[in-house]
Structure 1
């Protein structure tokens, strides 16, 4: 039997918790229908036996964090649903609370064989344990700049929906918990059960967060990077060199590269490409312009180049973005 342990902290996002529990229970039901009952056990742990969600609902946990090490065997998976944190101050304050500290202590105590999954702002909690140091992760894209500032030793790619690095599985923004749980169901219950969950719960396959990023959402703490975004956005149709961009911003190309990488984790070339693609996806989704016209508007020579980049970076086609 495999065991999935869900760590439910006070104020947990109701949707993230519900997605976690409903996906596992759906998989359990399909296993039972396939005459394979009891193969996967679901346990919910809280700092106390009664947990209050972010929406004010009450959840009765199966056990407390302190009781987990006393189980007959450690769970195969530990899942941390999203916490709904939206600012640097809220993140810092939340992670200092007793239940968060207890959850982090439990994660550090777990054997290396235990797999851990987290999405959205709960990746901050996982990172504060030190278990993500040197690892590749993803998380909610609009908090990425705060994550980089707090954990420069973690390799973050916020364009990805899911990133697996050894025993750690991380997912993107709030509803990426769906993708996280499908991956865990696949691991614990098999591909066919995960496929049934996907069909019955209508979970679409979204390999990238990049297409969901709001192209005007500039939250970087570095004003030079914000200025770079604005200048690029105003000159997308024409050729843009990094040297010219640096000159416009009155900094050296090396300084510009250093600041862009610190704020976004991207090289200047990738940063420029990201701006072009975000504008392209916005135009594809919100206008009836042809792909060739969109390509010209954002600085690509033809529609073929844009189609290839959309498929590579977003994991889909321009037609699918528009449908």
Structure 2
């Protein structure tokens, strides 16, 4: 992606925007290692066990030491997917708004509680820190960085040349069932809500479906999913609305009725709150 930006520059008779060096963590610890932009890719870790085991290794400690050294004033640090755990271990997420791949987001919050987690967006920027979700969100991250360093026009050219669509939200890809896979008791809340999705459902009803008090349910749900009960309900309704939009060809009012909102206006408000987008923008 950075080379694509450099090609756009050459096409327009300008010098390249980026000079790229690939460094191992050990090389990054060298006294002369410095950069305006540091990009840490994902590390191929997909489960809690893989993350926890990796963060205990000597190699991971070297990586976090390198990140601390490179994070000098004026340097942008970018990471994606499981790479965000290295940013957390280095203390770079403390007090910052950040994201990661949606199914590891609760673990990130558990391991680094000072992060201000935003698991909704694919790319999140907070000062010198830029984070992104999983796999193909690397493309979104690079386009975001190209726009920051080279301008919107260059980033848009790169998007078109690489045929990369704009995907600001992770929600269409989020699976509540996957988030709850390690918590069978909470799965009963999801099942109850799906069966009653056309009507308003109280937190007390969801808690009762799990055999818990509302307070215990809220605390357990927050630990497993990094969501409040209200966010849990809204996200399940919103993701179901997106599915219906893409598969049934229904109107906004019809979709709103099927997912428990009084009308299309109420659904639009929920969509804006949870995705930052309109429902219609999710049509494929």
Normalising by structure 1, we get a TM-score of 0.80
Cα distance in 2, alignment partners of residues 218 and 106 from structure 1 = 32
Q: CA RMSD, aligned part only? A: 2.2
Aligned to 2:14: 36
Q: Does 1:70 align with 2:32?
A: yes
Structure (1 or 2) with the greater strand fraction = 1
1:222 deviation in Å? 4.2
1:177 deviation in Å? 0.9
Residues 206-239 of structure 1: CA distance to partner in whole angstroms, max 9, x if unpaired? 1111112134323364444333222212211122
1:79 deviation in Å? 0.2
* Structure 2 counterpart of 1:100, from 50, 60, 71: 60
Contact 2:39 2:78 in 1 (8 A): yes
Q: Does 1:189 align with 2:150?
A: yes
CA 1:221–1:145 in 2, change beyond 3 Å: closer, same or farther?
farther
Aligned to 1:146: 107
Cα distance in 2, alignment partners of residues 211 and 322 from structure 1 = 11
* Structure 1 counterpart of 2:2, from 24, 34, 39: 24
Aligned to 2:250: 289
Cα distance in 2, alignment partners of residues 183 and 307 from structure 1 = 27
Aligned to 2:46: 86
* Structure 2 counterpart of 1:114, from 72, 75, 80: 75
Contact 2:98 2:126 in 1 (8 A): yes
Residues 109-166 of structure 1: CA distance to partner in whole angstroms, max 9, x if unpaired? 1213211101111111211112212221111012223223322232222111111122
Aligned to 2:84: 123
Normalising by structure 2, we get a TM-score of 0.90
Runs of 4 or more off by more than 6 Å in structure 1?
none
CA 1:298–1:242 in 2, change beyond 3 Å: closer, same or farther?
same
5+ residue gaps, structure 1, are: 1-22, 49-63
Aligned to 2:274: 313
Deviates further, 256-265 or 306-315: 306-315
Contact 1:257 1:267 in 2 (8 A): yes
Q: Match of 1:116, SS?
A: strand
